[in-house]
Amino acid sequence: MSLRIAFMGTPDFAVPTLTEIIGQGHEVVAVYSRAPRPAGRGMEERKSPVHAIAERFGIPVFTPRSLRGEAEQADFAALDVDVAVVVAYGLILPKPILDAPREGCLNLHASLLPRWRGAAPIHRAIMAGDSETGVMVMRMEEGLDTGPVAMAERLAIPSDATTGDLHDRLARLGADLMVRALAALSRGALGAVPQTEDGVTYAAKIDKGETRIDWSRPAAEVHNHIRGLSPFPGAWCEMDLAGRTERVKILRSTLADGAGLPGAVLDDRMTVACGTGAVRLVELQRAGGKPLTAEAFLRGAVVAPGARLG
């Protein structure tokens, strides 16, 4: 049975779920997304990925700055939807919004709740060295990602996978999971299990102050830090390139054999010593440049064995 749906989402991660819902024949009567923001060199107003896709399908898009006002809440209630689907929307939903749809609000979250509630679950799972993650559909309540879980899919995290790699796989997996949840909801067969309070962790938004690489940490932690912040905002270090200190993002790495002073370059393959062990830098990006393999990077920059990265 087709459902009448309000979709609420903003970034690329939410796009597969929206397109999959439309493809399944549900009636998406409105899309809510964060308001356009200045971006690019010209700082022109740029619509969110979800906003742009919704317009391609001819779906009305609403971009309120907040949903706490009575007028915004009345407008949402007037949509008369069966359910709201929420995927990385970015605004808190107050109780009148949560209560307006006949079947409530379903949220797609990219972690194995209750681990990594909050804003940056993919980044934090990789940075912590987790071996497994997943996606979950939960029924929303007023707490931060505290609602009962209706469906889940698990996914192993490969040892060298970045946040970007995992983001794309989880977005596709989550889209499939949400349409299955909606199918069950339309049959009156979508149950939900309360989350346990054991193992609760919070995925705080990534702060720019934590992006610099600390080479004194063990190699495994450095490696997880690099891949957890790739491609955005990017872990970085300082290098002396042609007599000038430059900030360089490290986008990919792998664990390697070697030992030395933390930050020391050990060979001509960009193997770098850590507090214990070493990592080999696989992909790098200079400010204003394109991502390059280590081999390509070294063709345009001299980083000799014995150099120290800061």
3-state SS, 224-235, equals HHHHHCCCCCCE
For a pLDDT cut of 70, what percent of the chain falls above it? 99
For a pLDDT cut of 90, what percent of the chain falls above it? 96
Q: Is the pLDDT of residue 1 over 90?
A: no
pLDDT the model gives residue 186? 97
Asked if the 208-300 domain carries CATH number 3.10.25.10, the reply is yes
pLDDT in tens, 158-194: 999 999 999 999 999 999 999 999 999 999 999 999 9
114 annotated as belonging to a binding site for a ligand? yes
Residues sharing a CB contact under 8 Å with residue 22, sequence separation 6 or more, in sequence order: 28, 57
Q: Which two tokens stand for residue 257?
A: 């054999």
Specify the residue for token string 């702060």.
207
Round to whole Å and give the CA distance between 276 and 5.
Answer: 53
Give the residue from 40, 36, 135, 32 showing the smallest Cα distance to 91.
32
Provide the residue ranges of all domains of the chain, joining segments of one domain with +: 4-202, 208-300
pLDDT the model gives residue 42? 67
**CB neighbours (10 Å) of residue 5?**
25
111 annotated as belonging to a binding site for a ligand? yes
Q: What's the mean pLDDT in 13-29?
A: 98
Q: Please say whether the beta carbons of 12 and 46 come within 8 A.
A: no
pLDDT in tens, 265-278: 999 999 999 999 99
Round to whole Å and give the CA distance between 272 and 24.
Answer: 50
216 annotated as belonging to a binding site for a ligand? no
Q: Please say whether the beta carbons of 279 and 258 come within 8 A.
A: no
Q: What's the mean pLDDT in 22-34?
A: 98
Determine which helix (DSSP H) or strand (DSSP E) holds 105, and give its type and residue range.
Answer: strand 105-109
Model-wide pTM > 0.75: yes
SS3 308: strand
Round to whole Å and give the CA distance between 168 and 236.
Answer: 23
pLDDT in tens, 34-75: 999 887 666 788 999 999 999 999 999 999 999 999 999 999
Q: What's the mean pLDDT in 208-215?
A: 97
Q: Please say whether the beta carbons of 163 and 229 come within 8 A.
A: yes
Round to whole Å and give the CA distance between 54 and 241.
Answer: 45
pLDDT the model gives residue 225? 98
Alpha-carbon 10 to chain mean position: 12
Asked if the 4-202 domain carries CATH number 3.40.50.170, the reply is yes
pLDDT the model gives residue 97? 98
Kindly indicate the confidence band of residue 98, based on its pLDDT and cuts at 50, 70 and 90.
Answer: very high
Round to whole Å and give the CA distance between 276 and 265.
Answer: 14
